[in-house]
A and B are shown apart, each in its own frame.
Chain A
């Protein structure tokens, strides 16, 4: 991913295991949160989103959890596959506002 480099937290996970990626967001006024995946040489790809009136949302093999009390967001990937190797970003904004604030990113490396 394009943010690979300086001090990017890295999660190494065995193929088939579950992955959990965490994100602390900064703005208590944010009410819309998105997870993106970025593979090397590509733009960020939408994975899943959640609004602040929910604390959990599930997609295909992914679950996002939101804890507004501690301003924490997590992405769970079930049965991690080699194709899940990428940099994952959380992003926050206020509903109706298209200005996304991104976290620094987490590198996930899947070990076959």
Chain B
């Protein structure tokens, strides 16, 4: 079974721009969660999607948003980029049948200049 895939792997943007990141979960997984990883703050939960609905949300500003499609693929969007948004963005998927083991993708490295 293929693992979680994320595209693109690397991205460079400038302040004020917006960006869309994509995540394809493991086949059969219905829950997709997004995390931001920085050296200073570590791994922080952004949001979770299940059945095309946002089920859980972390403490990030409204500039961070996401969505999930009927095939469980998910996208996250960051608008009006700030320098502090530079980070590794990780996507994780899980079956959500009572098991919470989340499997992570390789991440998208975003650099905001």
CB contact list, A60-104 vs B, under 8 A: 89, 91, 93, 95-104
Selected interface stretch from B12-20, B73-81, B88-96: B88-96
Cβ of A6 within 8 Å of any chain B Cβ, yes or no, is: yes
Q: How many residues of B contact A (CB 8 A)?
A: 30
Asked if B56 and A45 sit within 8 Å, CB to CB, the answer is no
Cross-chain contact of A98 among B31, B43, B90 (Cβ < 8 A)? B31
Interface residues on A, range: 20 to 34
Contact A98–B42 (Cβ < 8 Å): no
Mostly, the B contact residues are strand
A46 touches B103 (CB 8 A): yes
In the assembled complex, which residues on chain A have CB atoms less than 8 Å from the CB atom of B90? Answer: 43-44
| B68 contacts the other chain (CB 8 A) | no
With CB as the reference atom, state the residue of chain A lying closest to B40.
A6
Which B residue sits closest to A105, measured CB to CB?
B42
Q: Are B106 and A100 in contact (CB under 8 A)?
A: no
By beta carbon, the residue of chain B nearest A42 is: B106
CA distance A34 to B56 in the complex (A): 19
- Alpha-carbon gap, A100 to B88, bound state (A): 16
- Give the shortest distance, in Å, between A32 (CB) and chain B (any CB): 6
User: Would you call B104 and A44 a contact (CB within 8 A)?
Assistant: yes
Contact flags A31-55 to B (C-beta < 8 A → 1, else 0): 0101010000111111001000000
A6 nearest CB across to chain B (Å):
6
Determine if A98 and B105 form an interchain contact, defined as CB atoms under 8 angstroms apart.
no
Chain A residue at minimum C-beta to C-beta distance from B94: A98
A→B interface (CB under 8 Å): 2-6, 32, 34, 36, 41-46, 49, 89, 91, 93, 95-105
7 pairs, A vs B, C-beta closer than 8 Å:
A3-B37, A4-B39, A44-B92, A49-B101, A89-B43, A93-B100, A97-B100
Q: What 15 additional pairs, Cβ within 8 angstroms, besides A98-B50, A100-B33, A104-B42?
A: A2-B39, A3-B37, A3-B39, A32-B100, A36-B104, A44-B92, A46-B101, A46-B102, A89-B43, A95-B100, A99-B33, A99-B56, A100-B45, A102-B42, A103-B42
